[in-house]
Chain A
Amino acid sequence: QQPVQSPQAVILREGEDAVINCSSSKALYSVHWYRQKHGEAPVFLMILLKGGEQKGHDKISASFNEKKQQSSLYLTASQLSYSGTYFCGTVFSGGYQKVTFGTGTKLQVIP
């Protein structure tokens, strides 16, 4: 089952913050986050493992709540370069190989 991402799309002005959520109906082992710019391949941002950890990557961070089977991606003080489609990818067991991606959240940052 594909994880559900919300919102489906969001428009921000430079400097604003955003949160993208990823929910699963099955127990999660880990969550991947990727960003895809228009016409390009997805690029890996970070991976979160069981344990409710939070990770950071410049002004982009993420949390993982295994009890709620959810992960959230936080973008703070957004920049134009943050524009793109964000995908979460979920792993349902200890196998790191089978990653099931959500349908994506399209983020547009405007001046």
Chain B
Amino acid sequence: EAQVTQNPRYLITVTGKKLTVTCSQNMNHEYMSWYRQDPGLGLRQIYYSMNVEVTDKGDVPEGYKVSRKEKRNFPLILESPSPNQTSLYFCASGMQGAYGYTFGSGTRLTVV
């Protein structure tokens, strides 16, 4: 089944403890992206990647890191999480060109 898989689905962590949210897609998509969703603010792009080893900042990149060493994987790294990074995170992937995105099921992160 074609899908974008995020793990974990839920995560509660403490301020300053490094964490990684994984994202993997099995559709051979070139493009992958991370969004965060907060009430009233919609989906805001954190980082995106157009292919292996090619990444760029989105609209809210501060406090996050990404890497794209393999085409299928695009992990999101929070080196020192803070409470303002408590949010619902979505990974998305898509083909190059005028196509829509496929979203993962989301990761609800709480930083205390």
Number of interface residues of B (CB under 8 A): 27
Q: Does B45 contact A (CB under 8 A)?
A: yes
Measured CA separation A62–B47 after assembly (Å): 28
Measured CA separation A104–B42 after assembly (Å): 6
Chain A: interface residue count, which band?
A: 20 to 34
When C-beta atoms are compared, the residue in chain A nearest to B57 turns out to be: A98
A interface, over-half SS: strand
Cβ B100 vs Cβ A98 within 8 A:
no
Cβ A30 vs Cβ B45 within 8 A:
no
Q: Does A64 contact B (CB under 8 A)?
A: no
* With known contacts A41-B90, A41-B106, A99–B101 Cβ distance under 8 A: yes
Q: Contacts of A102 on B, CB cut-off 8 Å? A: 42
- B residues apposed to A, CB below 8 Å: 31, 33, 35, 40-45, 48, 50, 56, 58-59, 90, 94, 96-106
